[in-house]
Amino acid sequence: MGIQRQCPKCKKVYTTELEPKADSRMIQDIYPDAEPYQREQLQTGYCSDKCIDEALSGTREPQYTYDERGRRFENGERKLFADPPED
């Protein structure tokens, strides 16, 4: 369905879950029901929430658990967005 990408964080080669479209609208408008990590696969190439969190967290450790697909969970509940870093 999707295209082959290589994650810039873990270097895993994977197939995106969404198909890229030649469309000038924002990706949230093109795929309104997709999860953020699915859209990020097309935008940045990161394969999962886990790689996004690790790449963007700097020196702090992400405080989440991840399933086998790298999707973010907190206290057993799916967490779509990471908390912003505390200053």
> pLDDT tens, 13-26?
999 999 999 999 99
Q: Where are the domains of the chain?
A: 4-78
Terminal CA-to-CA distance of the chain, rounded, Å?
41
Helical pair 36-43 and 49-56, crossing angle rounded to 10 deg: 70
The predicted model scores a pTM of 0.71
The model's pLDDT over 22-56, given as tens digits with 9 standing for 90+, comes to 999 999 999 999 988 899 999 999 998 888 888 87
